[in-house]
């Protein structure tokens, strides 16, 4: 693949535990092009978040490494902005101030005060939060908080946008609304995005590629599915689209046949001891 | 309007008024009832206790002593004013007789009244408390941020935290006498001794609570700071300080409470000016009024302690970002 923007090569990580090192990830290989939207999907505890945290630089890989634009990633930085699962806004700052904190860090030298103010407002309007610039996180809904979190990440003009289950804590309607917003914004800005999700529909709807991960321990990339649906995508039109349903069932088959986590109750009863152990590892 | 709806609304209205009235009367009546009950028990109980200084004072005697203390204070104020007036007159006469006369101004030698002692105590406690705060908050932040710092300092904190002021006092007195030697002292030695004792005893709650508050900042917020690559100072200012304000104030309130208790004990033992000395002097004096006057001091000490706590609570509600926080 030419034109590689972000490359994970043979990334592995193990955590020390009292029983010796626990290998969470092993040999994760992934090449991502500029402007690509990649979803990571897998059962909980399979190490999706760990992959994202390594790309973000919040964790250090034990083996292998991450290369962004020809440079190895060793520490966190604003060129790899993260949208956290639970928004992680500073509760003592308003929406505007939360975005301002990031903008000041990234553009404090290159933009004037007025340019920064316009840039902050522009980004908050991009996520349709222009009406609540000066509200604190306590005063707005969960979906709105997540919007501000996305605005904060976008305002850093990151080379890669990392999203850790950004819509996981939201109700279905809000989630659909935010997914549409995200698709629009991505079509406009052409960000490279890595998104973690549990939601098969969300993955197929938003992604250019879906990376399906095997179960831990020593989780790795199981299959990669290219989604060749034309953009812009419309969730209603796609609902009856055979191609869409084909992608959907491919992901489902991977998750529930090849990487079956939930064993039939009868077999689980027979092997209660061993399943309990594997559950512990997964957690 | 449908009459049924109108009736229901009216009924709801009176219902609301009723619950409100109940709530208000509860908020006002119950505390008063508690106080009255206490006064009654005190009044009856006091009459049963005969001391070598007479019957233990009840509420009535204590009120009498309160008035006495007030009038003593006013008398002292008048004495002072009269003293300066006389001096002024004398000097003016002297000047009129001889413009080149050598004029002397003498300070009035005021006997500290109960209220003077209160002011002294308040100044001392605030100085000691502020000194402790200035030391404890930065140290607490450092301990909370760094595990190594915590491991290094924890044994020291744990050992010194439970030490009583009475144990510190002789050491502090001797050290202050030895170290604070100047010809023109800005502060009295007794003042320094009290302040240092108060500081030593009230450092710990603020330090420990600040450290716990800082250490319990969520990983998410720390990650935000790391992704933004905030510098140490910005990290502390924008994330650590606001996040630990509630715990910090819990510590500050505990510290101020301890400071006030410690101060009274220290003043009593070391004969430093202040409310503690007032109590001790009355005890040594041993007149039939002494117990009543000590009772006034006890109530005053409690009341001031309460006011100090309220003042900090007010400050917290000003500083805290979480306006919904329940504070008590």
Under an 8 A CB cutoff, do A58 and B227 touch?
A: yes
CB–CB of A80 and B227 under 8 A? yes
- The rounded percent of chain B whose pLDDT value lies above 70 is 93
Q: Is A138 in contact with B226 (Cβ distance < 8 A)?
A: no
pLDDT at A276 over 50: no
pLDDT at position A279 is 38
**Region of poorest pLDDT, from A271-275, A276-280, B49-53, B295-299:** A276-280
Contacts of B238 in chain A (CB under 8 A): 90, 93, 101
Closest chain A residue to B219 measured between Cα atoms? A88
Nearest CA in chain B to A53: B223
Query: Topology of B121-319 in CATH?
Result: MetI-like fold (1.10.3720)
Say yes or no: B246 contacts chain A, CB-CB below 8 A. no
What are the tens digits of pLDDT across the range B23-60?
A: 888 888 899 999 999 999 999 999 888 888 888 999 99
Residue that is written with structure tokens 């233990």 in the block: B56
**Residue A140 DSSP symbol:** S
Could you tell me the pLDDT band of residue B14, with boundaries at 50, 70 and 90?
low
Q: Say if residue A270's pLDDT is above 70.
A: no
B220 and A101 in contact by Cβ < 8 A? no
- Residue A97 at interface with chain B, using a CB cutoff of 8 Å: no
pLDDT for the residue numbered A2: 54
Taking the C-alpha atoms of residue B214 and residue B189, their distance in angstroms, rounded to an integer, is 37
Is A74 at the interface with chain B, CB within 8 A? no
HEC letters along A5-71: EEEEEEEEEEECCCCCCEEEEEEEEEEEECCCEEEEECCCCCCHHHHHHHHHCCCCCCEEEEEECCE
Per-residue pLDDT at A89: 93
How confident is the model at residue B19, as a pLDDT?
82
What is the pLDDT confidence band of residue B288, given thresholds at 50, 70 and 90? Answer: confident
Residue B129 has pLDDT above 60, yes or no: yes
pLDDT, position A151: 92
Sequence ranges of the domains in chain B: 121-319
Per-residue confidence band for A198, with pLDDT thresholds at 50, 70 and 90: confident
Question: Does the beta-carbon distance from A88 to B226 stay under 8 Å?
Answer: no
Query: Min CA distance, A166 vs chain B (Å)?
Result: 14
CA distances from B71 to A136, A143, B68, B276 (A): 54, 66, 5, 21
Interface mutation target, options A78, A83, A101, A150, chain B, most CBs of B under 10 Å: A101
pLDDT tens across A70-98, in order? 889 888 988 999 998 888 899 999 999 99
Give mean pLDDT, residues A173-180: 88
The shortest CB-CB distance from B226 to any of A58, A91, A136 is to A58
Is the pLDDT at B213 greater than 80? The verdict is: yes
| Domains and their CATH numbers in chain A | 4-79+169-282 (3.40.50.300), 82-157 (no CATH)
- Phi, psi torsion values for B176, nearest 5 degrees: -60, -45
Judging contacts by C-beta atoms under 8 Å, the chain B residues touching residue A92 are 242-243, 321-322
- A273 band by pLDDT with thresholds 50, 70 and 90: very low
Phi, psi of A216 (to 5 degrees): -80, 175
Find the range with the poorest average confidence among A16-30, A178-192, B311-325. B311-325
3-state secondary structure chain B: CCHHHHHHHHHHHHHHHHHHHHHHHHHHHHHHHHHHHHHHHHHHHHHHCEECCEECCCHHHHHHHHHHHHHHHHHHHHHHHHHHHHHHHHHHHHHHHCCCCCCCCCCCCCCCCHHHHHHHHHHHHHHHHHHHHHHHHHHHHHHHHCHHHHHHHHHHHHHHCCCCHHHHHHHHHHHHHHHCCCCCCCCCHHHHHHHHHHHHHHHHHHHHHHHHHHHCCCHHHHHHHHHCCCCHHHHHHHHHHHHHHHHHHHHHHHHHHHHHHHHHHHHHHHCCCCHHHHHHHHHHHCCCCHHHHHHHHHHHHHHHHHHHHHHHHHHHHHHCCCCCCCCC
Q: Report the residue of chain A nearest B242, measured CA to CA.
A: A92
Over residues A241-249, the mean pLDDT reads 92
Give the Cα separation of A117 and A104 in Å (integer).
Answer: 10
| CB < 8 Å to B243, chain A | 92
Nearest to A39 by CA among A255, A218, A192: A192
**Among A272, A210, A281, which Cα is nearest to A32's?**
A210
Among B227, B242, B322, beta carbon nearest to A78: B227
pTM for this entry: 0.80
Indicate yes or no: CB of A105 within 8 angstroms of CB of B238.
no
pLDDT, residue A275, reads 41
* B230-254 confidence digits (pLDDT tens): 989 999 999 999 999 999 999 999 9
pLDDT at A68: 92
Name the closest residue on chain B to residue A137, using Cα atoms: B322
Backbone CA torsion sign across B48, B51, B57, B61:
positive
**Spatial CA neighbour of A104 closest among B225, B224, B228:** B228
Query: Which pLDDT score, from 0 to 100, does residue B6 have?
Result: 55
> What average pLDDT does range B85-103 have in this prediction?
84
Angle at A77 between CA A226 and CA A90, to 5 degrees: 100
**Residue A277: its pLDDT value, please?**
39
For testing contact with chain B, the best of A83, A84, A148 (most B CBs within 10 A): A84
Half-sphere exposure of A154 (CA within 13 A, CB side): 23
Report whether pLDDT(B219) > 80: yes
- Among chain A residues, CA nearest to B324: A138
Higher pLDDT among residues A87 and A35, named by residue: A35
What is the pLDDT at residue B143? 94
Q: Does A189 touch chain B (CB under 8 A)?
A: no
Question: Tens of pLDDT along A45-72?
Answer: 888 889 999 999 999 999 999 999 888 9
Could you identify the residue written with the tokens 């000590």? B294
Question: Of B299, B295, B300, B301, whose CA–CA distance to B61 is shortest?
Answer: B295
pLDDT at position A271 is 47
Q: Hey, what long-range contacts does B282-288 have (CB within 8 A, 24 or more apart)?
A: B286/B53, B287/B53, B288/B53, B288/B54
- Which value does ipTM take for this structure? 0.82
In chain B, whose CA is at the least distance from the CA of A81? B227
Q: How far apart are CA B278 and CA B271, in angstroms?
A: 9
Q: What is the pLDDT of residue A118?
A: 93
Question: Are A81 and B322 inside 8 Å of each other by CB?
Answer: no
pLDDT at A154 > cutoff 70: yes
Stated length of chain B: 328
Tell me the pLDDT band of A282, cut-offs 50, 70 and 90.
Answer: very low
Percentage, residues of chain A above pLDDT 70: 91
- B223, B229, B239 ranked by CB distance to A90: nearest: B239
Query: Distance between CA atoms of B85 and B223, rounded to whole angstroms?
Result: 70
What does the block give as tokens for B192? 């320094």
For chain A, the average pLDDT equals 86
């Amino acid at each position: 693949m030419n034109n590689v923007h972000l490359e994970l090569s043979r990334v592995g990580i193990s955590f020390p535990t009292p029983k010796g090192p626990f290998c969470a990830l092993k040999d994760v290989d992934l090449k991502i092009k500029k402007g690509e939207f990649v979803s990571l999907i897998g059962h909980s505890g399979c190490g999706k978040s760990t992959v994202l945290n390594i790309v973000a630089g919040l964790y250090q890989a034990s083996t292998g490494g991450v290369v962004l634009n020809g440079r190895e990633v060793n520490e966190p930085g604003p060129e790899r902005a993260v949208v956290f699962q639970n928004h992680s806004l500073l509760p003592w700052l308003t929406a505007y101030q939360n975005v301002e904190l990031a903008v000041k860090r990234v553009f404090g030298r290159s933009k004037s005060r007025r340019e920064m103010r316009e840039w902050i407002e522009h980004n908050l309007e991009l996520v349709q939060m222009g009406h609540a610039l000066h509200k604190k996180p306590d005063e707005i809904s969960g979906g709105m908080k997540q919007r501000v979190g996305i605005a904060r990440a976008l305002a850093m003009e990151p080379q890669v946008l990392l999203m850790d289950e950004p819509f996981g804590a939201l109700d279905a309607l809000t989630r659909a609304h935010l997914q549409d917003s995200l698709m629009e914004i991505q079509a406009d800005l052409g960000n490279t995005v890595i998104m973690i999700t549990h939601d098969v529909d969300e993955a197929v709807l938003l992604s250019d590629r879906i990376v399906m991960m095997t179960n831990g321990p020593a989780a790795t990339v199981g299959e990669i599915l290219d989604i060749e649906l034309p953009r812009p995508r419309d969730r209603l039109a796609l609902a009856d689209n055979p191609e869409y349903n084909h992608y959907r069932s491919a992901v489902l088959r991977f998750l529930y046949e090849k990487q079956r986590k939930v064993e039939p109750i009868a077999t689980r009863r027979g092997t209660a001891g061993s399943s309990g152990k594997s559950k512990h590892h997964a957690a | 309007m449908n009459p049924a709806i109108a009736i229901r609304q009216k009924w709801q209205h009176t219902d609301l008024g009723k619950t409100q009235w109940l709530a208000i009367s509860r908020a006002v009546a119950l505390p008063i009832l508690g106080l009255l009950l206490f006064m009654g028990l005190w009044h009856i109980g006091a009459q049963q206790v005969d001391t070598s200084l007479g019957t233990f004072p009840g509420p009535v005697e204590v009120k009498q002593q309160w008035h006495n203390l007030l009038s003593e204070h006013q008398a002292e104020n008048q004495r002072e004013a009269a003293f300066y007036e006389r001096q002024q007159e004398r000097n003016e006469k002297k000047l009129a007789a001889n413009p080149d006369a050598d004029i002397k101004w003498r300070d009035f030698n005021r006997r500290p009244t109960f209220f003077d002692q209160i002011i002294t105590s308040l100044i001392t406690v605030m100085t000691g408390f502020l000194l402790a705060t200035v030391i404890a908050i930065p140290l607490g932040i450092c301990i909370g941020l760094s595990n190594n710092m915590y491991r290094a300092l924890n044994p020291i904190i744990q050992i010194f935290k439970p030490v009583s002021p009475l144990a510190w006092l002789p050491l502090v007195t001797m050290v202050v006498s030895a170290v604070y030697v100047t010809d023109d002292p800005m502060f009295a030695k007794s003042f320094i001794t009290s302040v240092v004792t108060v500081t030593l005893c009230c450092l710990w709650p603020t330090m420990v609570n600040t450290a716990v508050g800082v250490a319990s900042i969520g990983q998410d917020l720390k990650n935000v700071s790391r992704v933004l690559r905030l510098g140490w100072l910005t990290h502390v200012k924008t994330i650590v300080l606001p996040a630990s304000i509630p715990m910090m104030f819990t510590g500050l309130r505990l510290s101020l409470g301890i400071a006030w208790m410690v101060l009274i004990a220290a003043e009593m033992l070391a004969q430093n000016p202040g409310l503690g000395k007032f109590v001790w002097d009355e005890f040594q004096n041993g007149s039939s009024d002494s117990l009543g006057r000590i009772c006034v001091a006890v109530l005053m000490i409690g009341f001031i302690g309460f006011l100090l706590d309220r003042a900090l609570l007010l400050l917290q509600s000003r500083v805290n970002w979480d306006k919904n926080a329940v504070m008590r």
